[in-house]
Amino acid sequence: MQKLIAAAASAVILSGCSPTEDVSKETFKYAINNQMPQDCLMLNTRDSDFPVSVDVPQTEREKLISINSDRIAQYDALVEAGLLTVESNTKIIQSAFEDESSTITLNVYSLTDLGQKSFKEIPSNSNMAGDIKGLCAASYHVGKVLEFSEPTQSMGETISHVRYTLLATGIQDWAQNESVQNAFPTMASLLNTERRESATLVLEDGQWVFQEDI
């Protein structure tokens, strides 16, 4: 879906100026913010589909070397925050070479109502990649436009290069839970970090669009 960015149309109509004459930092800040709600600061879980079954390490050695120990710690934090429920289950593993079997304990994690509300599926910009799925911790808004180039003609198009900062906004309560932030330190850092981004905008039918979406 093409991301349309309105170029302060009301000011253009009242002043009689063309959209290219009316551009300013505030114009681009307002314009880019109009599409920011579609963006999402996604919590990077190891699994994108729920319910999820995780083998529970049984010995102290297994707890030290198994990647499932970290998975369980992360998912248990989401249980504490109200996004997941957890149930204990078992499965029988049959040996391929001997007439023996073993019983494995599982934790089965499922989304709660809050988890389902926070779970998002965002179409990927790449044809090679599938949709991005996960828990949306926050959205973004433009903090400030650092600079933009004067609109110029390039291969028959009017373009402007814009550099701006992004800040997290609409942060979910569960994303501020101490256990969740300890279990997902990257997310915790992103919530408090000003990102710097750049984009090339093209004037198309009186509207600014991101160049890659044309």
Q: Would you state the pLDDT for residue 206?
A: 73
Q: Would you state the pLDDT for residue 95?
A: 65
**Do the strands 119-122 and 152-154 form a parallel or antiparallel pair, or are they unpaired?**
unpaired
Cα–Cα distance for residue pair 17/12, rounded to 1 Å: 5
Looking at the chain, how many residues does it have?
Answer: 214
What confidence tier does 19 reach under pLDDT thresholds 50, 70, 90?
A: very low
pLDDT digits (tens, 9 = 90+) for 176-192: 999 999 999 999 999 98
Q: Would you state the pLDDT for residue 34?
A: 76
Bond before 151 cis per omega within 30 degrees: no
In the chain, what are the domain boundaries? 4-44+137-213
Cα–Cα distance for residue pair 204/39, rounded to 1 Å: 22
Q: Would you state the pLDDT for residue 130?
A: 66
CB 104 within 8 A of CB 93: yes
Q: Would you state the pLDDT for residue 126?
A: 55
- Residue 52, CB-side half-sphere exposure with 13 Å CA sphere: 22
In angstroms, the Cα distances linking 152 to 73, 148, 149, 159, 206 are 53, 11, 8, 6, 15
Contacts of 9 (CB under 8 A, 6+ apart): 19, 206
- CA dihedral for 170, 164, 161, 9, sign (positive or negative): positive
